[in-house]
């Protein structure tokens, strides 16, 4: 007989777990309880009981989403953070199979002794692998992104208790539907990923005028097959906002890295500078200068080290405030136009938030998932902002965000969904016309509608429901998107 454990929490405990995060959630969430199975049989038992009792389920990985994409009120929240085992490692084929609750950091630690590294992940390694697949995350690697590109197959538990393996050749419809579906189609329990050699990388920096960046990236960087990781941080200097960029590139030497104990530990930035920017206008003026000449050091490190930064480097220590992330994906030819619009938008709303960071990254076209944020090649612009933790500030931020989403839509771009649910329903369906297809796949694979979260309930519930963001009307699913 199999022995397994289910760790169970109360609603108040679950709330504290949800709110323990570098980032503030958009609103509080009150599940009935939190279940933390440490074995597939325990997970099956929870799902079976929920089905019998007609109880709704939400899925949680590391819990960093900002709009309660991992939660809903009056549901059973399943936390996957106890399902963290490495199942198999095929060194010849460079394939690893892990349980979905494993963090990228834990996977890196287990790959490193074999000379292997993660191929694609977010910029921070604290997140769960299943959660990354749920939002189809991307990072700094310009070849292996989004994360779905590195996925060989997934094992999915459907709400009827059936397990299916899905890949590009086996159950391809489910494979496309479950990746990037925010846990709405099925529960990913195991993931088989492609991994790569843990090579030594050379980190180089460059100061580039923003108006020259597109050409610089297209003609100099992208053709360089040794380029591995890339990001470009826009200057946030309020006097010359976005005038130039600190570009950080990691080039692959082709040399296998020695074991970690023989390597110098990289110096990732701590949260002190970021928090100082929230207080000081002068710090924001001189940030790029300090960053380029003093903070970013050219160095050598392993791939695992370069992809080993923790989200704790973003920890907010300024009381009465919260940090939020937003991300926009624009066609390459529209990047400069978007940055010009972003400059004006930031100036108009400088009383609503403080812009602390704006990063540009490259994202390859996603031809796999049902809900792609990059249906074609895109530049991603990631914004990190600080605002007062008040209802008034949140309402103002919602209004400002809708403005920027409209600018993005005009350029044929899209916005990213794991963050605060500021967008109107019309904006979501305009950005993601595939959302209706996701609902169809959910109805097929979860016909009883057990899986839910506040993203789904805000934009896709069949019953009329008042949107939580002020100023929006009730809505229904289907034709006639308001």
Return the top range by mean pLDDT from 10-19, 42-51, 258-267: 42-51
The per-residue pLDDT of the chain, averaged, comes to 89
Q: Residue 195 and residue 392: Cα distance in Å, rounded?
A: 46
On whether the CB atoms of residues 467 and 478 are closer than 8 A, the answer is no
CA dist 399 → 155, 171, 349, 469, 470 (Å) = 40, 41, 10, 10, 9
pLDDT at 65: 76
On whether the CB atoms of residues 33 and 10 are closer than 8 A, the answer is yes
- Band (164; pLDDT cuts 50, 70, 90): very high
Identify any residues that bridge with 233 across adjacent strands, giving them in sequence order.
246, 359
Q: Evaluate if residue 10 carries a pLDDT over 80.
A: no
Q: Residue 12 and residue 309: Cα distance in Å, rounded?
A: 31
In terms of Cβ atoms closer than 10 Å to its own Cβ (0-12, 13-18, 19+), residue 435 is buried
pLDDT at 6: 53
Q: What Rg do the C-alpha atoms of the chain give, in angstroms? A: 22
pLDDT in tens, 64-117: 777 788 889 999 999 999 999 999 999 999 999 999 999 999 999 999 999 999
Provide the residue ranges of all domains of the chain, joining segments of one domain with +: 6-79, 86-197, 199-421
Fold of 199-421: Alpha-Beta Plaits (3.30.70)
Q: Evaluate if residue 423 carries a pLDDT over 90.
A: yes
CA dist 78 → 181, 334, 370 (Å) = 16, 41, 24
Out of 3.30.465.10, 3.30.360.10, 3.30.70.260, 3.40.50.2300, which CATH number does the structure's domain 86-197 have? 3.30.465.10
pTM: 0.90
Q: Evaluate if residue 132 carries a pLDDT over 50.
A: yes
Q: Evaluate if residue 181 carries a pLDDT over 90.
A: yes
CATH number for region 6-79: 3.30.43.10
Q: Residue 260 and residue 112: Cα distance in Å, rounded?
A: 8
């Amino acid at each position: 007989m199999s022995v397994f454990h289910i760790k169970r929490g109360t609603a108040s405990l679950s709330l504290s777990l949800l709110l323990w995060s570098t980032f503030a959630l958009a609103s509080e969430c009150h599940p009935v309880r939190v279940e933390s199975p440490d074995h597939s049989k325990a997970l099956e038992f929870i799902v079976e009981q929920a089905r019998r009792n007609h109880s709704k389920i939400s899925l949680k990985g590391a819990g960093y989403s900002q709009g309660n994409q991992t939660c809903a009120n009056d549901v059973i929240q399943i936390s996957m953070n106890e399902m963290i085992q490495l199942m198999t490692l095929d060194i010849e084929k460079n394939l690893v199979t892990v349980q979905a609750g494993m963090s990228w950091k834990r996977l890196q630690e287990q790959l490193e002794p074999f000379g292997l590294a993660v191929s694609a992940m977010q910029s921070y390694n604290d997140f769960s692998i299943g959660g990354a697949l749920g939002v189809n995350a991307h990072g700094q690697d310009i070849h292996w992104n989004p994360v779905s590109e590195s996925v060989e197959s997934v094992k999915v538990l459907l709400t009827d208790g059936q397990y299916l393996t899905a890949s590009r050749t086996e159950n391809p419809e489910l494979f496309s539907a479950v990746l990037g579906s925010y846990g709405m189609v099925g529960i990913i329990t195991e993931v088989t990923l492609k991994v790569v050699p843990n090579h030594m990388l050379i980190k180089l920096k460059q100061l580039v005028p923003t108006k020259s960046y597109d050409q610089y990236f297209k003609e100099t960087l992208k053709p360089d097959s040794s380029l591995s990781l890339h990001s470009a941080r826009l200057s946030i200097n309020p006097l010359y906002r976005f005038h130039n960029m600190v570009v950080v590139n990691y080039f692959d030497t082709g040399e296998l890295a020695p074991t970690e104990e023989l390597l110098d530990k990289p110096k990732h930035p701590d949260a002190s500078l970021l928090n100082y920017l929230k207080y000081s206008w002068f710090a924001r003026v001189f940030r790029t200068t300090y960053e380029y000449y003093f903070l970013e050091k050219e160095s050598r490190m392993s791939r695992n080290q370069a992809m080993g930064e923790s989200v704790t480097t973003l920890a907010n220590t300024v009381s009465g405030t919260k940090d939020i992330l937003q991300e926009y994906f624009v066609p390459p030819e529209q990047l400069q136009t978007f940055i010009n619009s972003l400059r004006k938008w930031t100036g108009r709303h400088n009383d609503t938030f403080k812009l602390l960071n704006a990063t540009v990254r490259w994202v390859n076209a996603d031809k796999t998932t049902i809900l792609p944020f990059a249906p074609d090649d895109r530049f991603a612009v990631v914004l990190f902002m600080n605002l007062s933790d008040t209802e008034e500030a949140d309402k103002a931020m919602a209004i400002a965000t809708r403005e920027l989403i409209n600018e993005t839509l005009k350029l044929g771009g899209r916005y990213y969904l794991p963050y605060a649910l500021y967008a109107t329903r019309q904006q979501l369906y305009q950005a993601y016309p595939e959302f209706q297809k996701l609902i169809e796949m959910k109805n097929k694979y979860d016909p009883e509608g057990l899986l839910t979260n506040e993203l789904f309930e805000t934009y896709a519930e069949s019953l009329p429901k008042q949107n939580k963001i002020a100023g929006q009307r009730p809505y229904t699913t289907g034709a006639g998107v308001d």
